[in-house]
Amino acid sequence: MMTRRQMIVRSAQGAALFAFGSLLAPLFAAAEDRRFKIGACEWSLRKSGPGCFDVAKEIGLDGVEVNMGTAGNNMYLRQVDVQQAYREAAKRTGLEIASLAMAELNGVPLKSDPRAVEWLADSIGVMQALNINVVLVAAFSKGDLCGDKPGIDHTVEVLKQIAPKAEKAKVILGLENYLSAEDNLDIIQRVGSRAVQVYYDVGNSTDKGRDVCKEIRMLKGNVCQFHAKDGKFMLGAGRIDFRKVREAMDAIEYRGWIQIEAAAPHGLVPDYQAHYKFLKGIFI
């Protein structure tokens, strides 16, 4: 007899393999066309705005996960002129805009604040303007969903409301939180949309004592992007065996972006150059 959680996992995996084909085609291309790309989060580069691309270029990264903005600047990537400035910075540096992030949802939670619902809906147009297809939907700090059933229930209803628009635009709403893989699959199954997936952070899951490689395999067909960090450690010198992470990614046939969000105890540029070199040696 399967438990309810096992049924959720199998159901979500099966639905993903059936329904995600056209949306995720680049991630499941022929072997010779697949490759990993390694970038970093705008906030990790310690330079807000289009100037983050200059820092990323100095490090040698492939691209940047850009932040949509803050409540203070009214989530300014919704503005056409700001979008143009980011596109021009990417073109000037020869880098890519990898994905969009909504870090402000940690303080203005999707589970409780109507502003966050509006912002998430608007992120779809921002992704289209930047020619990207993933937005990170953050749920930490004030937005934490752990042990918050009413918050999860409300988040599910919001995602049900916005997911059809995301499906039509062929973009993905990537959930990043402290929930387990099973709990995230439960949310995905309840929403019932191929546009809702998990943005998996190996560091966050390790902090919670979870087996990241087991979780990655469990999430097959439901992972849109990855964050690479390991608490206070330099990548490769801490708790996480990234070679095993690579094996798990191979098992789910993931190819795409890995965003560095790691510590930099010796200085941002030299440490991120070291992180990039380490990851590139594994994710080739």
11 domain-assigned: no
Summarize the confidence of residues 9-34 as an average pLDDT: 47
**What's the domain count of the chain?**
1
Please check the confidence at residue 211 and state whether its pLDDT lies above 60: yes
> Per-residue pLDDT tens for 244-263?
999 999 999 999 999 999 99
3 located within any domain: no
The radius of gyration of the chain from alpha carbons, rounded to an integer in Å, stands at 18
Residue 14, domain member (yes or no): no
The stretch 6-20 carries a mean pLDDT of 52
Q: Is residue 23 part of a domain?
A: no
Q: For position 96, which CATH number holds?
A: 3.20.20.150
Cα 279 versus chain centre, distance? 17
| Residue 222 belongs to some domain of the structure | yes
pLDDT tops 70 at residue 131? yes
At 284, is the pLDDT very low, low, confident or very high (cuts 50, 70, 90)?
confident
194: Cβ contacts below 8 Å, ≥ 6 apart: 15, 16, 19, 20, 23, 167
Q: Is residue 112 part of a domain?
A: yes
One-letter-per-residue 3-state SS of 68-92: CCCCCCCCHHHCHHHHHHHHHHHHH
- pLDDT tens column, 171-204: 999 999 999 999 999 999 999 999 999 999 999 9
Burial 151-177 (b: 16+ CB within 10 A, else e): bbebbbebbeebbeebbeebbbbbbbb
Q: Encode pLDDT of 103-129 as tens digits.
A: 999 999 999 999 999 999 999 999 999
User: Measured between alpha carbons, how far is 84 from 185 in angstroms, rounded to an integer?
Assistant: 36
End-to-end CA distance of the chain: 41
Q: How far apart are alpha carbons 181 and 139 in whole angstroms?
A: 15
Task: Enumerate residues 6+ apart whose C-beta is below 8 A from 10.
Answer: 2
Domain that holds residue 255: 34-282
Confidence check: pLDDT of 34 > 90: no
